[in-house]
């Protein structure tokens, strides 16, 4: 399970509440700057999802802005984020709560 949490340089604490979406990567070890295929799964229903979003707070964005990650692997940052260093994403590995769903046949 990969949990994505937004952080701002002026706020060392995570700025997003725990989500209801698990992100299941296609491999066990993810290296820095490596692209990874993944599946978004709703924790409650165990059904695949197309996208997940969460609030991110920094001194650069408008309250209520949300980062969005989609099942095609694209991440959309909130508006008014001037550079990639403003909000960093980190991954935390762990055990899946339910068996991962298989993609395709």
- Domain membership of residue 41 (yes or no) is yes
55 assigned to some structural domain: yes
Average pLDDT taken over every residue of the chain:
54
Please, are residues 23 and 3 in contact by the beta-carbon 8 Å criterion? yes
99 located within any domain = no
Under 8 Å CB-to-CB from 31, ≥6 apart: which residues? Answer: none
Cα 94 to Cα 1, 10, 23, 39, 67: the distances in Å are: 5, 27, 11, 15, 22
Strand spans (E) along the chain: 3-7, 21-25, 38-42, 48-49, 51-55, 66-70, 75-76, 88-92
Tokens representing 61 are: 């964005």
In a domain, 48, yes or no: yes
Please state the domain count of the chain.
1
pLDDT score of 89: 44
> Can you list the residues of the chain whose pLDDT is less than 70?
1-38, 51-105
28-53 tens-digit pLDDT: 665 555 555 667 777 777 777 776 65
The parent domain of residue 19 ranges over 3-92
């Amino acid at each position: 399970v990969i949990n994505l949490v937004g952080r701002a340089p002026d706020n060392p604490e995570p700025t997003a509440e725990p989500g209801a979406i698990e992100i299941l990567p296609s491999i066990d070890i993810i290296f820095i700057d490596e692209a990874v295929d993944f599946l978004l799964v709703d924790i409650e229903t165990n059904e695949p999802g197309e996208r997940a979003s969460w609030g991110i707070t920094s001194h650069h964005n408008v309250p209520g802005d949300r980062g969005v990650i989609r099942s095609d692997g694209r991440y959309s940052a909130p508006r008014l984020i001037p550079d990639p260093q403003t909000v960093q994403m980190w991954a935390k590995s762990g055990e899946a709560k339910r068996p991962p769903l298989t993609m395709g046949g």
